[in-house]
Amino acid sequence: MLERLKALAVFAAVVDRGSFRGAARALGLSPSVVSHHVGALERSLGQALLYRSTRRLALTPQGEALHGQARAMVDAAARGLDAAGAGAGEPSGALRVTAPALLAETAFCRDVAGFASAFPKVALSLSFTEERRDLLRDGLDLALRIGWPEDSALKARRLAAMPRVLVAAPAYVAARPKPGRLGDLAGWDWIHLTAVRPEAALMPPGGGTAEVLPYIPRVAVDSATAMRAMTVAGLGVATLPEVLARQDLARGRLVRVLPRWRSPMPGVYALWPGGTPRPGLTMRFVDFMAPRLAALFRASGAGRAAARGG
């Protein structure tokens, strides 16, 4: 009976992670051991649970029915363990997180250090990248993302909004006629982040419909930090996260372009698989970081004035 329960848990991980290899990473087992447990479960039941191909796995009707029960079993066990850990005041386990690379340049790392200090038995692994990693394929528990969630297979929680500012180096702006609206920037050089579409969007003062200006980038980079450095160097104009541009604006290395116009603010989201092995641990991290991320992304006085159209 115990072996079948273990095999059920392994089967649930294979389905949740989308592959034997992904389940192996999540469970700390070898792919061959994962395959052995699933095969043994199928033999004991006398029916196939998974359709296997070289490219993907799919559930048989019997596997679909069993997965719901297996997932409920694993979730119940995880809740029990997390409750016991909370009662003892010592949550433990491994937590694998991916976050936008720009956060590594902010107080986010200090806040993560605060979480690690508060929960010393939690082993943290963080991946900082602008690439949107596949949580199931890569065996990750949680993603922090900026933008609008697209993957309906993941659970999501909005944590904050990210103000953005249109900026350029003072010398770059001084060398050009003062713009009155977004369309006046059509001939300017643009610094572009490759993860988003090459276009600028701004709301005019007093509200109304946002104007959108497609552009051909002069410089395209895959890092928001590099984007900021290129802008400070005077290579063109860019829409930057306010949190990255804040110090450069205060010190005069950057200036606002069309300061009374405002950029739409994307959300900052936490996303996690519905079948995460440690839902309590994931939620503990999200709950800890939510107010800190909201404070981090809260605009400075200049940013708030711009958001009001001032």
For 165-204, how does the pLDDT look when each residue is reduced to its tens digit (9 = 90+)? 999 999 999 999 999 999 999 999 999 999 889 999 999 9
**Domain topology for 2-87:** Arc Repressor Mutant, subunit A (1.10.10)
Handedness of CA 92, 95, 100, 101 (dihedral sign): positive
Report the C-alpha dihedral over residues 104, 106, 108, 113, rounded to 10 degrees.
Answer: 80
Terminal C-alpha separation, the chain: 68
For 227-271, how does the pLDDT look when each residue is reduced to its tens digit (9 = 90+)? 999 999 999 999 999 999 999 999 999 999 999 998 888 889 999
For 94-139, how does the pLDDT look when each residue is reduced to its tens digit (9 = 90+)? 899 999 999 998 999 999 999 999 999 999 999 999 888 888 788 8
**Residue pair 35/20 in contact by the 8 Å Cβ criterion:** yes
Please tell me the predicted confidence (pLDDT) of residue 157. Answer: 87
Domain 93-159+266-307 and domain 164-256, same fold? Reply is yes
Residue ranges covered by each domain of the chain = 2-87, 93-159+266-307, 164-256
Architecture of domain 164-256: 3-Layer(aba) Sandwich (3.40)
Q: For the residues 284-290, what does the mean pLDDT come to?
A: 91
Q: Considering the chain, what percentage of its residues have pLDDT values greater than 70?
A: 86
**Domain topology for 93-159+266-307:** D-Maltodextrin-Binding Protein; domain 2 (3.40.190)
